[in-house]
Structure 1
């Protein structure tokens, strides 16, 4: 796939940028950003090149490199072309000694900061989840340690500590940090869930440290490379709503939460995908919803059944295309956690318990599989990059020639 051309690379593209004191940035190397500030009232003399990076302790550093060749010819010193500015920026960062010479001083926190900064520039999906895991599980325990001081034993002890740690109680806005309670470690399901969390967090830590190693910020990856994740942690039983439970849920709902639940049932979309939908994302001709941003980074069109078409046509009728398709009772777009209170009230009304909104997505997929949809179609509808997740969770529900043959021919008491 062709790489998108930088908006800073030509005089014409820079001239199209709005006049502002806030620079426009691009990542030119790992940990190195080139900035361009057009500035207000700078049309007669052109913009300014800037460079930014971070010190080994995570402190942000910035430097003015020179004037852009918007109006004056470049001289390689005070007036720079885009390519010359990139070279000067890299040389400035190298002068800060953030490479191998400073590697022993690189902390885990600094490695996380630089990794997240690079991934954000690359458009990494689920970055918020990775940052939350780091803030909750990684930074408080090992964030201040130097990467060079990490050992296999330290990382294993940190990983195992996530499994045995007491659970934090959230009793109020001003609850004390020490307000914790022991968990039942004799319960296999508790252990499985905690080990699964530890594995996901270990993956985040390893990704950041591997990025630092691959970019020559550290010289040895042995400590974390040899620490393996727990086995057998992903055998969670997936909850599906029966047809009667689906009907009860819809019948008990009304208003905005009914629209949200109905949209989830007919599309199988995640909450975040539904919250980002705009009116223009519903295609009234093809009776489909366009999901531009997904966890896998793969956009998709999801055809909807007749009831879904009626729902979305009602929601989109006579409204501007850029408005949220699904809205709260207040008219505002749905956001993370805003559905919790109406969702819990709906479950109580429908006399359902232990159901999450995400399980409607599983219900969508399981219903399709039970009705004979091929797993590749289900994976496409869910936005998965391949059929592995669909096979893992839903393959046992599919009508199977082998299963039908066994049931027909095996001894029966």
Structure 2
């Protein structure tokens, strides 16, 4: 038998209903009803859609969904068709079931703010970088949108826009010099870098929205869950210094920058970790350095080779436990970018090209792997939570039965 057509399904049938302050209700799912009300004093203004259900405490609840498309064309937000009203009612009820904190007015910026607040209280590392990426790439395009209004298409279009958009001009001077800087989208390396940036930013957006979903602030995660990151965007090739280049760097430096370079080579620590070291962090008895704050959030002890132990023993001699271990020539602690000029001068003298201070960390790891250290040991020394990053960047350097067998048995011309 054919299903009876709802009296609320068309403008014509709704117009035939008598004006009344009591809604006309239609059951659309078990426990969910939509209502249509055109009050006695609303002649010529059309009716409104309502929804009714029961909250988790079994209390009857009701809400206004929006205006019916009796007189105005539907826009899916303020003015709804019959089918759109049913969808809106189901979404509203889903929000009721996940908890009273769910709010249809929650915006992407609201979700970011609450996520950063919560993670900051938990001691999230690199939160400043995440905030900066969100301010630069997420908030301008998505910030004012309601989370409930996000769609797969909107999120994917935003992700793709980071790859194809014009280059941002970071200073007023540069903006004045050129109205537009075109991106060479035919350059594979440009695309790779931009897609890598898009992936990193998508990770932040997903983390914030997943936090909101898991904390019952929104009812559905489909819009962002189904948007995947670009594949093969992170370059696996990393610059490693040879032993001769390492010696050349140290020989070309002196004073504070020499101590910084040497400490990086013998510990594999990040610049920020080195800059925060105090005299008390060096264990003279065990010849190891204690790194209390790391990117992964896990403290670690880094044993030192004899040369490294000699370096740190000299640095801590006759100094107070609370003093910074590594200092600039002025005696001040190292801060981001304060080493740039000295670093570039050392590179020029040593005739070493295209190297960043951070790549001394990769040099430390690659040297250990080449010398036969298991990847789990390298990962622990670097402060990684598992071996995935070590495998990605350094596994090809490790001596292996497969590689040795191929070299021994393959044709050699």
Shift of 1:342: 2.1
Residues 396-411 of structure 1 aligned to structure 2 (within 5 Å): 396-411=396-411
Two-structure CA RMSD over aligned residues (Å): 2.0
1:32-83 CA-partner distances (Å, limit 9, x unpaired):
xxxxxxxxxxxxxxxxxxxxxxxxxxxxxxxxxxxxxxxxxxxxxxxxxxxx
**Which residue in 1 is equivalent to 2:323?**
323
Deviations 1:362-408 (A, max 9, x none): 00000111111111111111111111111111111111122112211
The separation in 1 between residues aligned to 2:223 and 2:358, in whole angstroms, is: 36
Using a 3 Å threshold, how does the CA distance of structure 1 residues 109 and 179 change in structure 2: closer, same or farther?
Answer: farther
Spell out, residue by residue over 1:246-304, the C-alpha distance to the aligned partner (whole angstroms, 9 max, x if none).
12211111221111111000000011111111110001111110011111112111111
SS across alignment from 1:160: helix
SS at match of 1:104: coil
The number of equivalent residue pairs is 315
Larger mean CA deviation between 172-181 and 203-212 belongs to 172-181
Deviation string 1:182-211 (CA, Å, 9 cap, x unpaired) is: 222212122111111111110100111111
Q: What is the DSSP-based 3-state SS (H/G/I as helix, E as strand, rest coil) of the residue aligned with 1:166?
A: coil
Q: Does 1:348 align with 2:348?
A: yes
Distance 2:345 2:179 in 1: 28
1:142-162 C-alpha deviation (Å, 9 max, x unpaired): 112221222211111110111
Distance 1:260 1:318, change over 3 A: same
1:100, 1:218 within 8 Å by CA — same for their partners in 2?
A: no
- Displacement after TM superposition at 1:174 (Å): 8.2
Alignment check: 8 A CA contact 1:372 1:398 kept: yes
Question: Is residue 2:138 matched to residue 1:148?
Answer: no
2:216 alignment counterpart: 216
* In structure 1, C-alpha distance between the alignment counterparts of 2:248 and 2:321, rounded to whole Å: 33
What's the CA shift for 1:235? Answer: 3.3
CA distance in 2: counterparts of 1:178 and 1:283, whole angstroms: 55
1:366 & 1:101 partners in 2: Cα distance? Answer: 49
Q: Secondary structure at the match of 2:290?
A: strand
Aligned pairs for 1:7-406 (under 5 A) are 100=100, 103-170=103-170, 180-406=180-406
Does the 8 Å CA contact 2:102/2:216 hold for their aligned counterparts?
Answer: no
Q: CA deviation at 1:410?
A: 2.1
Q: Are residues 324 and 173 of structure 1, via their aligned partners in 2, closer, same or farther at CA, if it must alter by over 3 Å? A: farther
More deviation in 304-313 or 99-108?
99-108
Equivalent residues of 1:100, 1:219 under 8 A apart = no
| Alpha-carbon distance between aligned partners in 2 of 1:330 and 1:180, rounded to the nearest angstrom | 42
User: Which sits farther off after the overlay, 344-353 or 183-192?
Assistant: 344-353
- Structure 1: runs of 5+ lacking an equivalent: 1-98
Q: Is the Cα contact below 8 Å between 2:236 and 2:392 reproduced in 1? A: no
Is the contact between residue 107 and residue 144 of structure 1 (CA under 8 Å) also seen in structure 2? yes
Which runs of 5 or more structure 2 residues have no equivalent in the other structure? 1-98
Q: Distance in 2 between matches of 1:255 and 1:312?
A: 14
* Structure 2 CA distance for partners of 1:123 and 1:351, relative to 1, 3 Å: same
Alpha carbons of 1:170 and 1:274: their partners in 2 closer, same or farther (altered >3 Å)?
same
Q: Deviation at 1:348?
A: 2.3
Asked whether the 8 Å contact 1:169–1:179 carries over to 2, the reply is no
State the SS of the aligned residue for 2:104.
Answer: helix
TM-score after normalising by structure 2: 0.72
Contact 2:240 2:359 in 1 (8 A): yes
TM-score by length of 1: 0.72
- 1:301 is paired with a residue whose SS is strand
1:249–1:350: 8 Å Cα contact kept in structure 2?
Answer: yes
Distance between the aligned counterparts of 2:370 and 2:174, measured in 1?
48
